[in-house]
Amino acid sequence: MDDFGIRTRAQLLGEGVAGSTIDYRCRRGRYHRVLPGVYSLCLAVLPRLEADALIDKNLATAFGAEELRLLVKQAPGRYGNGAVARQLRVAAQDFASEPERLLARAFTERRFRIAPNAPVGPFVGDFVDERARLVVEVDGREFHSEPGVFRQDRRRQNWMLVHGWMVLRYAAWDVLAGPGAVADEVIAIARRRRKALG
């Protein structure tokens, strides 16, 4: 079993952790009960960026955001619900890579809504703002330098441009180095385009 993560009580029991052990680990601070039957394993002691990544990963694999939102709603006033609700507001979902996850977090921290991995005609954009007719692509060197992928990216971009979309491309390295700066640039462009398009 992974020493870090978010698990439901049923998952822990299924992994062979006895109920009394779960309770003991909660009392000793090894597990943190965030909701009834939902525990973070050492989340409270992780640095913020590692905790963010842990939440994002587990929302995609261990349980869904809607399931967690429902648990928060069912237990109003419970200790930890405020922190969980805040994490849910800024959690990155539907990301395909680490740079995309960081950029999604940067957008939500700035309260800017942009759809991750959304359809644009017959294609899918990494981030899509329909009001601004803007597509943001995050290109990793290994994947996007392969000749077939490179050609497909050009065909996709050409289709989007012909159909009135602006396409912004960022290197994954630039996003990793400064997701906030990239998000700020995208937001400024999107707001100008929204205003211009009415």
> Can you give the residue ranges of every domain in the chain?
5-90, 98-197
pLDDT band at 56 (very low <50, low <70, confident <90, very high): confident
pLDDT bucket at 79, cuts 50 / 70 / 90: low
The Cα-based distances of 165 to 117, 157, 159, 179 in angstroms read 15, 9, 9, 23
| 168 or 98, higher pLDDT | 168
Q: Report the chain's mean pLDDT, rounded to a whole number.
A: 81
Run of H or E residues at 35: strand 31-35
11, pLDDT greater than 60: yes
- In what order do the strands lie in the sheet containing 31-35? 5-8, 38-41, 31-35
Query: Average pLDDT in the 7-27 region?
Result: 81
Residue 1: pLDDT over 50: no
Q: Which of 31-40, 61-70, 74-83, 120-129 has the highest mean pLDDT?
A: 120-129
Those residues with Cβ within 8 angstroms of residue 77's Cβ, 6 or more apart along the chain or in another chain = none
pLDDT surpasses 70 at 187: yes
What is the average per-residue pLDDT within 40-62?
66
- Which of the four CATH numbers 3.40.50.1370, 3.40.960.10, 3.50.50.60, 3.60.15.10 does domain 98-197 have? 3.40.960.10
Predicted local distance difference test score (pLDDT) of residue 5:
64
Rounded distance between C-alpha atoms, residue 35 and residue 52, angstroms: 18
Query: Is the predicted pLDDT of residue 18 greater than 50, yes or no?
Result: yes
Q: Whole-model pTM? A: 0.67
